Chains A and B, each alone.
Chain A
């Protein structure tokens, strides 16, 4: 199996590529609609501004093929903005539509704490997780974001994190998985998570 990394011209594609290499996994970058059509497993890495990701997906005509792949049941992992993109919209760019797989709007974390939420934080498990299998509950993951999905107890939410307020950190539903942190930058626990995803996708 080869993992397809959606390369929309920004973000942390190279870091994810290197993390997969360390796990011995094959990957390829995809920047066109055709290359998404034949994908066996998909990762949408993301970092930066919500608008940059959504605009890039639309400009490159990647929205429809990505949604098709998700409907077809292709295993998917969204990272950081790649999680946020799955929702209706974001306060960061209210005029744009997300991929609308999940309802709701991404909101800013409270200004009562230092932002961006930058650094290593722990998770609170709220459901049974496939991605977090074999990872110590007290493990730290690396976050770098100012916006997040409010933790609301929906079924697809399996872990949350708190910085000013509690927000969604890991979601899993059918073939769709996403994390707010950066597993590719999260040391051994991050590598374990990516390896769990590869096993799910195989």
Chain B
């Protein structure tokens, strides 16, 4: 009896439709979030993340409606984010049906946001998303969808985020995102060792071996991917059976 490693599909949306791109650019349509959510719920995904990567103010009501429709399909936890800058933004997302909120750029701009969210919803509901890019011997925090380098050390930021009340770190390797070359094991391991909260590894997954590696060698508690699940390149059930056969604890729903 032990806490299992989680497999988390991620829906990057423009508010209404799922989109995908490589290294955060060149987006194209990848389907209806509600249809995909229902499929992942049935296939044994452990959680679902829905992001509004456009995060424009005028599209917000559309995104909230998307969260509502997605949440209605799920009997698993839902994390939502993208463009959450204030406690009120987060309240709207939670009211629409999200169990957890993820923040990224807005938390870098104003770290106190993490404490505010944690105070209201509890640490277990606050996921600090960090987009990290390798710079010589360390990783730096990128913001605005991986476009701008802040010069902030990713490990120090993860530690600060946890001390402010983040209950989980969603760690994306900007270098690996969209490349399908596998997760950044060194990055994941460095952050997982540095913080006391669960770490979700993201960016670069394609093969089942990539997942085995990030759980076994990277110390990740969960692993997130998008397009390989959307395109059925990697069915979730098959992935979990692969991991279970390698003695990695997963949940195999009957």
Contact = CB atoms under 8 A, between A and B. Distances in A.
Given A185-B77, A185-B99, A187-B75, A118 B124 contact: yes
B19 to A, nearest CB: 26
A97 interface: no
B28 interface: no
Interface in A99-117: 111, 114-117
Contacts of B3: 117-121, 143, 163
B196 A111 contact: yes
A182 B168 CA distance: 18
A142 B1 contact: no
Contacts of A49: 119, 122
A118 B168 contact: yes
Interface stretch (A9-17, A36-44, A59-67, A68-76): A9-17
A47 B124 contact: yes
Interface residues of B, number: 33
A113 B198 CA distance: 10
B166 to A, nearest CB: 10
A190 B41 CA distance: 13
A179 interface: no
Contacts of B198: 114, 116, 118-119
Given A18-B72, A115-B197, A161 B1 contact: yes
Interface residues of A, number: 41
Contacts of A162: 1-2
B59 interface: no
A161 B71 CA distance: 27
Contacts of B39: none
B77 A188 contact: no
A146 B124 contact: yes
B123 A116 contact: yes
Contact of A145 (B72, B75, B95, B124): B124
B4 A140 contact: yes
A117 B197 CA distance: 9
Nearest to A162: B1
